[in-house]
Amino acid sequence: MLIYVDIDGTICSITHGKYEIAQPNKENINKINKLYDEGNQIVYWTARGAVSGKDWTELTTLQLQEWGAKYHELKMNNKPHYDLLICDKTKRIEEI
């Protein structure tokens, strides 16, 4: 299964654009890592920089590595910024 996972507010704290101070949520990272270990393809997809135009790829990659997040791909700079996503395939991390 191909699974796209948000970063801020899902596997780390919400920092309102101050991504350097994001704190990992180990419980949620472990949930995603379990999905990875079960053979699912994990893609982290973030809107970091969507509003500011700043490229956060280097910091985000380092954070994922430091937090022990397992994944196949990181997608940056192409996720739209939105306040609410309504989708028939959407799950909250609490449902996993």
CATH code, domain with 72: 3.40.50.1000
pLDDT at 70: 98
pLDDT of residue 74: 98
Q: How many domains does the chain have?
A: 1
Q: Does position 24 have pLDDT exceeding 90, yes or no? A: yes
Stated pTM of the model: 0.89
Edge to edge, what strands does the sheet with 41-45 contain?
2-5, 41-45, 73-75
Average pLDDT, the chain: 94
Per 3-state DSSP, what percentage of the chain is helix, strand, and coil (rounded to 5)?
30, 15, 55
Residue 26's domain comprises: 2-95
